[in-house]
Chains A and B, each alone.
Chain A
């Protein structure tokens, strides 16, 4: 049996498919803001039994800080928690609230659950998209204007069914949003 020097098969195969949800090439700042790591370390101390449980809090922290979860963010969090990047990517792709792309400066969330839907939230969302000149929504339902100023997306119930339709603009809550009210709000967030 001469020389069965085994090299694992290297024959190539049909071109691979790109993974859905694979992060694109946006990049996070190369240096972390001051105090970021200390904040992360503090969050990890909340979970003495398993560091892995800090995955979600760290993802929230990253998104609050940088606006979205970049591949660098996934790698950083995985390394911080002694996990593999795939373990973090699983979470990022599961929760709709985690973005893998930056959103517009002003992020408008329109509730589409029952009361709001019946009170006209679909028409309201169409109107907001049109006024903010955002394009077609991406795979995660987020539509962003080309100038990066606005993003509009549907969300599920934000717990104010009696005052439907309701929207959130960034962290502010707005009730009984008619088209006229929407115009006023847009002026305010111009």
Chain B
């Protein structure tokens, strides 16, 4: 992800400048502004309109600081104090930190009485027309106006007049609602739309005491990145229709994970309470998605809570399906699979499996007959948008390719041929709907003697299955994936699997044990370790070494070249 601005990042070779922050001389790379310098000196300067990834507009005035420059003598040389440091001339008026670049010998004060007074004044002005409807506001709990009010505001307001009335509940986009009374006119959303997405639809009309954020009549904020404006809105002016009034944010547990909507693998926070996911928000990772994610990926989680979710393992009995406990169904699936020769078995895996699942599946395949068992994934081709979306809609095409169970869809036709001709009699399908996404006709499965489907939602394929093994969604599992750019990243478990559904790696582990005996693996860490031992591309990795931000797999290059082109 290339941002038009990166105020928080300087080139590695930037020269260092001496800057005094609240009386202490420190060194910072040239090119930073005062807000960023203070952040590095553990002195937070409050701000609303400043955003490190957007142009600087300097309109909120919250980041006012005192600034000094070196005192110069008659020869224009800095006057040095007894400690050898330059003496400073302090500007009698405050400066905005966001639009002030540091320079050699500069001083800033972020905690002086003047700065405190400035912040109180700005807060008082910002709250004059604010409706203070925090009890029903979705932003409450993560609202900068609330936070700074507590930390930097005065205890009361002197304003006794009527507040300005502005439009409320303005439907400005497919996924966004605007409350103009809450807006503090920071213009972050305008700049994001214009600069990052190049969809310049927002603007301020009626500028003055009635300044109103608006889209032009007939235009909509409908681009695929619109919900990022909700994230960067420091107040509750822009809210997500999807998340609006669903849950108070302070009840949400935030789990670090990744988006599984495409091969980009945007880093995310899954916001859940008890066993329900309420939202996904982007998590900063400069190597992948910076601070953004697309709306499609963000909202693409609701299927995990559909009422028809597969929650119990079932076996076909006559025309009906019978709930069958795991300790019964796994041995039955194993013994049925053993009835067939390797050439008669095929596996349709998925580019949505984690590496661990793909590894265990390859182990199952080994027991069933190794290379003689045809296997492939169902490719999903989308359109790369040049921002974040990849043309590969499978999140882990690169990962599953490491374990020999993917031929990028090239073998799929051969499997179908085999199934239709009756040569392949047993089919194990994981997280794919052959009669849907893969485009097989309903008659294709007619000749099968055994169909095992491991999935999370019922589909025409699972309806025909002899055994249905309910698995876990991305939010219910731990594991790792390799994104389109060859970066190994982690998923984390936000909620439990529903009902008797089971984590996919556990299903595969049990199936493998039933087919070929146990292998002493019990935890996901152990599976990861075994996987690394068997996979040169992952040499030296551990689940914890991947960390929250992932690691680039140098060795994955060879495998990557075979993958469909993707733009991370």
**Cβ-defined contact, B174 with A13, below 8 A:** no
Mask of A9-25 contacts with B, CB within 8 angstroms, 1/0:
11101111111111100
Q: Is A85 among interface residues, defined by CB-CB distance under 8 A?
A: yes
Q: Given A6, A84, A89, which contacts B205 in the complex, CB threshold below 8 Å?
A: A89
Residues of the A chain whose Cβ atoms lie less than 8 Å from the Cβ of B474: 1
Name the residue of chain A whose CB is nearest to the CB of B204.
A90
A86 to B187, CA, bound (A): 14
Mask of B339-365 contacts with A, CB within 8 angstroms, 1/0:
000000000001010000000000000
Least Cβ distance of A77 to chain B in Å?
13
Name the residue of chain A whose CB is nearest to the CB of B457.
A2
**Cβ-defined contact, B217 with A2, below 8 A:** no
Residues of the B chain whose Cβ atoms lie less than 8 Å from the Cβ of A18: 167
Known: A15-B171, A90-B204. A6 touches B299 (CB 8 A): yes
**Cβ-defined contact, A19 with B175, below 8 A:** no
**Cβ-defined contact, B207 with A94, below 8 A:** yes
**Cβ-defined contact, A94 with B212, below 8 A:** no
**Cβ-defined contact, B177 with A13, below 8 A:** yes
Q: Is A93 among interface residues, defined by CB-CB distance under 8 A?
A: yes
Q: Is A4 among interface residues, defined by CB-CB distance under 8 A?
A: yes
In chain A between 67 and 100, which residues have their CB closer than 8 angstroms to a CB of chain B?
71, 74, 83-87, 89-90, 93-94
Q: Is B329 among interface residues, defined by CB-CB distance under 8 A?
A: no
A16 to B220, CA, bound (A): 12
**Cβ-defined contact, B205 with A87, below 8 A:** no
Q: Is A35 among interface residues, defined by CB-CB distance under 8 A?
A: no
**Cβ-defined contact, B217 with A17, below 8 A:** no
Residues of the A chain whose Cβ atoms lie less than 8 Å from the Cβ of B458: 2
**Cβ-defined contact, B208 with A4, below 8 A:** no
Q: Is B525 among interface residues, defined by CB-CB distance under 8 A?
A: no
Least Cβ distance of A134 to chain B in Å?
23
A118 to B467, CA, bound (A): 92
**Cβ-defined contact, A8 with B296, below 8 A:** yes
Mask of B167-208 contacts with A, CB within 8 angstroms, 1/0:
111111011010000000000000000000000111111111
**Cβ-defined contact, A21 with B455, below 8 A:** no
A98 to B169, CA, bound (A): 28
**Cβ-defined contact, B205 with A21, below 8 A:** yes
The count of residues in chain A whose C-beta lies closer than 8 Å to any C-beta of chain B is 31
Known: A86-B200, A89-B205. A13 touches B169 (CB 8 A): yes
**Cβ-defined contact, A14 with B169, below 8 A:** yes
Tally inter-chain residue pairs, CB-CB below 8 A. 121
**Cβ-defined contact, B169 with A3, below 8 A:** no
A23 to B216, CA, bound (A): 10
Q: Is B39 among interface residues, defined by CB-CB distance under 8 A?
A: no
**Cβ-defined contact, A84 with B216, below 8 A:** yes
A94 to B203, CA, bound (A): 12
Residues of the A chain whose Cβ atoms lie less than 8 Å from the Cβ of B325: none
Least Cβ distance of A18 to chain B in Å?
8
Residues of the A chain whose Cβ atoms lie less than 8 Å from the Cβ of B168: 17
Among A14, A18, A19, A85, which residue has the most Cβ atoms of chain B within 10 A? A19
**Cβ-defined contact, B432 with A2, below 8 A:** yes
Name the residue of chain B whose CB is nearest to the CB of A14.
B169
Q: Given B203, B299, B432, B436, which contacts A8 in the complex, CB threshold below 8 Å?
A: B299
**Cβ-defined contact, A90 with B203, below 8 A:** yes
Q: Is B268 among interface residues, defined by CB-CB distance under 8 A?
A: no
Q: Is B462 among interface residues, defined by CB-CB distance under 8 A?
A: yes
A14 to B170, CA, bound (A): 9
Mask of B432-452 contacts with A, CB within 8 angstroms, 1/0:
110011000000000000000
A148 to B45, CA, bound (A): 56
**Cβ-defined contact, A84 with B207, below 8 A:** no
Residues of the B chain whose Cβ atoms lie less than 8 Å from the Cβ of A87: 200, 203
A71 to B218, CA, bound (A): 11
Q: Is B566 among interface residues, defined by CB-CB distance under 8 A?
A: no
A132 to B208, CA, bound (A): 31
Q: Is B108 among interface residues, defined by CB-CB distance under 8 A?
A: no
Q: Is B431 among interface residues, defined by CB-CB distance under 8 A?
A: yes
Chain B interface extent, by class: 35 or more
Q: Given A2, A8, A11, A85, which contacts B216 in the complex, CB threshold below 8 Å?
A: A85
A90 to B75, CA, bound (A): 50
**Cβ-defined contact, B462 with A2, below 8 A:** yes
Known: A2-B433, A19-B214. A9 touches B201 (CB 8 A): no
In chain B between 229 and 257, which residues have their CB closer than 8 angstroms to a CB of chain A?
241-242, 244
**Cβ-defined contact, A94 with B433, below 8 A:** no
**Cβ-defined contact, B437 with A85, below 8 A:** no
A84 to B457, CA, bound (A): 44
**Cβ-defined contact, A86 with B433, below 8 A:** no
A83 to B203, CA, bound (A): 12
Residues of the A chain whose Cβ atoms lie less than 8 Å from the Cβ of B455: 1-2
Residues of the B chain whose Cβ atoms lie less than 8 Å from the Cβ of A4: 261, 300-301, 303
Name the residue of chain A whose CB is nearest to the CB of B207.
A94
Known: A16-B171, A84-B216. A6 touches B261 (CB 8 A): yes
A72 to B539, CA, bound (A): 64
**Cβ-defined contact, A2 with B459, below 8 A:** yes
**Cβ-defined contact, B169 with A17, below 8 A:** yes
**Cβ-defined contact, A86 with B431, below 8 A:** no
Residues of the A chain whose Cβ atoms lie less than 8 Å from the Cβ of B431: 1-2
Name the residue of chain B whose CB is nearest to the CB of A78.
B216
Residues of the B chain whose Cβ atoms lie less than 8 Å from the Cβ of A19: 167, 170, 205, 212, 214, 217
Least Cβ distance of A52 to chain B in Å?
12
**Cβ-defined contact, A21 with B462, below 8 A:** no
**Cβ-defined contact, A16 with B216, below 8 A:** no
Residues of the A chain whose Cβ atoms lie less than 8 Å from the Cβ of B398: none
Known: A8-B175, A13-B177, A87-B200. A3 touches B207 (CB 8 A): no
**Cβ-defined contact, B205 with A90, below 8 A:** yes
Residues of the B chain whose Cβ atoms lie less than 8 Å from the Cβ of A74: 216
In chain B between 119 and 167, which residues have their CB closer than 8 angstroms to a CB of chain A?
166-167
Among B217, B352, B459, which residue has the most Cβ atoms of chain A within 10 A? B217
Among A14, A15, A23, A83, which residue has the most Cβ atoms of chain B within 10 A? A14
Least Cβ distance of A58 to chain B in Å?
17
Name the residue of chain B whose CB is nearest to the CB of A17.
B167
**Cβ-defined contact, B175 with A93, below 8 A:** no
**Cβ-defined contact, B171 with A3, below 8 A:** no
Name the residue of chain A whose CB is nearest to the CB of B171.
A16
In chain A between 1 and 57, which residues have their CB closer than 8 angstroms to a CB of chain B?
1-4, 6, 8-11, 13-23
Least Cβ distance of A118 to chain B in Å?
26
Residues of the B chain whose Cβ atoms lie less than 8 Å from the Cβ of A21: 205-206, 212
Q: Is B1 among interface residues, defined by CB-CB distance under 8 A?
A: no
- Top 3 nearest A-B pairs (CB, nearest first) are A16-B171, A6-B300, A86-B203
> Can you name 9 A-B residue pairings with CB atoms under 8 Å?
A1-B473, A3-B303, A9-B175, A15-B171, A16-B171, A20-B205, A90-B204, A90-B207, A94-B208
Q: A20-B167, A93-B205 are in contact. List 7 more A-B contacts (CB 8 A).
A: A1-B350, A1-B473, A2-B462, A8-B174, A15-B169, A86-B205, A87-B200
